[in-house]
Structure 1
């Protein structure tokens, strides 16, 4: 994971009681099943800079989730980055839905000329993926841009075969076709003649060394998420060292977390691709009356004002609240232990 430890010295860590003082846990319904979930849980808290979010997926261990807490603290208590733009163009996100449902999904992303399409869903076939991509191309037209995301679920041969199957639909890039850096490098070598770039996501945000992909020439584009990488400052350092084009994306955050991602995207000098930060459109509810949903294909760069009534309406039950508070406490211990060991 990102070296959040070096970016959060002990003196910069607020007391744990401050982190939890205003903390609220919400359970937000999804419009469409995504990543196997139908309800997105998140812990929101408030620092001197405003509301911030801690929402690692529930299956992540505490060590990995600690980077997400570092990001929340950085956004709530740290110094703001200097934005270079006041809005960020975003892509539509198409879950692994049936081809007939593609048009209704894309309608939730007004003005978006780029779509990221989930593929390699367990239980589905390549033919389902091809039909979904074909439906997206039909809706977007010839000028639309399509990227597919396999979440590392293919082996090298499967990835090569799938990319050939998608080629008639003019892909912008293929995101994380395989799990390992070595596999990504091999896929990239095999399909380079086709002119289809390879992008890395999990191989950056879930890696002990997020720069290994760049050093191995295993990807053409890096997909970066602010929360898993330890926050805006940590992600900006990865961008500086990697020297590759980047796409900022979300982890199905609430609008509070999306604000963090938008601020990261707004701080990057060269932003050549639409970002995956329009995912509030996949939520059936949010924590603000002014969610960061796409308008004319973009979202604004601003902090979000949380609505207390919405926090109450979508509050998680007491057991889930206690589970999230306990998780914060354990992750905070990871941060303080790492700092004290000088790691």
Structure 2
């Protein structure tokens, strides 16, 4: 493992502006590091505590300094991601995702109504056509009754699956039992990546699909172990990473024995600028497998303000102190 001084000396803190607000974020900050195996990223969301963020640092070090699992495919199919935008903005959002056959739509946004969610999903369904796939992501924003009502209201959208409709494993299990007759799969995200036991959702029979993210789970190798032990299909998704962090997700997706669903790794399209030239955006609905490196000029252009750089370096040091060994 690299020494802390080595990490701090060569860390580059960047701030990427968003096309539209996403998860309450308008600017995404990240720390980029250059390891012996290539560039890597440390970018836990600012509100996360140090103990949780330390897992993200472990993933960054693993990706930057250790050999990764070998790929079993050379390209990854990805989905478009539609934030909780107004209906009129849907075509412009989808236009940023070249050739994507699947769209994930954010719902249950605080301050918005179910009617707004339904209208947004229906607009995406109309744009994708009958052959396209539409999935929704509530980020745990509904209780069981609200989720059941929403899924019923979206019956005409022919949903591929519903991602994290409720916050807890028990709620997911109850909802899954209620909607079993509707044949709408449940996918678990926060119940995997933010859980002290990421396998609890599988043991409880609370989900049909796992959403796995490389950084929050400690890296590609640990995520692969979780998927193997859970015995459920997996979808690899982004944690709103820069193109460097997306490369870590692509590495994970490329190493999965089975990949039955398009992955949520096209999120570089949510930024107005990125650290690589070109950004790691889908072409023909696919991302290539392989490491990417930042453009030095982009690192300078997108450098975070000095106070934010100091904040991130102090956070990195605190998280480093929490790593085993």
TM tier, shorter chain? over 0.9
How far does residue 290 in structure 1 lie from its aligned partner after superposition?
A: 2.2
1:1-343 to 2 correspondences below 5 Å: 13-335=1-323, 339-340=324-325
8 A Cα contact 2:4 2:317, kept in partner: yes
TM-superposed CA distance for 1:21, in Å, is 2.6
CA offsets 1:251-303 (integer angstroms, 9 cap, x no match): 11000000000000000010000000000000111001121101000111111
- Displacement of 1:308 in angstroms is 1.1
Q: Over aligned residue pairs, what C-alpha RMSD do you find?
A: 0.7
Between the aligned partners of 2:95 and 2:295, the Cα distance in structure 1 is 26
Distance in 2, Cα, partners of 1:114 & 1:126:
22
Secondary structure at the aligned position of 1:252 is classed as coil
Q: Which residue of the partner structure matches residue 4 of structure 1?
A: none
Tell me how far 1:219 sits from its aligned partner. Answer: 0.1
**CA distance in 2: counterparts of 1:19 and 1:314, whole angstroms:** 19
In structure 2, distance between residues paired with 1:21 and 1:48 = 15
Task: Give deviations 1:71-112, integer Å, cap 9, x for gaps.
Answer: 000000011210011110000000000111111100000100
Residue-by-residue CA offset, 1:166-208 (whole Å, 9 max, x unaligned)? 1111000000000000000000000010000000000000000
Q: Partner residue of 1:5?
A: none
Q: Secondary structure at the match of 1:44?
A: strand
- Write the distance in 1 (CA, Å) between the matches of 2:193 and 2:142: 19
Q: Which 5+ residue runs of structure 2 have no aligned equivalent?
A: none
Contact (CA 8 Å) 2:68, 2:221: kept in 1 or not? no
Q: Which runs of 5+ in 1 are unaligned?
A: 1-12
Secondary structure of the 1:292 match is coil
Quote the residue 1:9 is aligned against: none
| Cα distance between partner residues in 1 of 2:194 and 2:22 | 19
SS for the counterpart of 2:5 is helix
State the shift of 1:46 in Å.
Answer: 0.5
Aligned residue for 1:7? Answer: none
Question: What TM-score do you get using the length of structure 2 for normalisation?
Answer: 0.99
TM-score calculated relative to the size of structure 1: 0.94
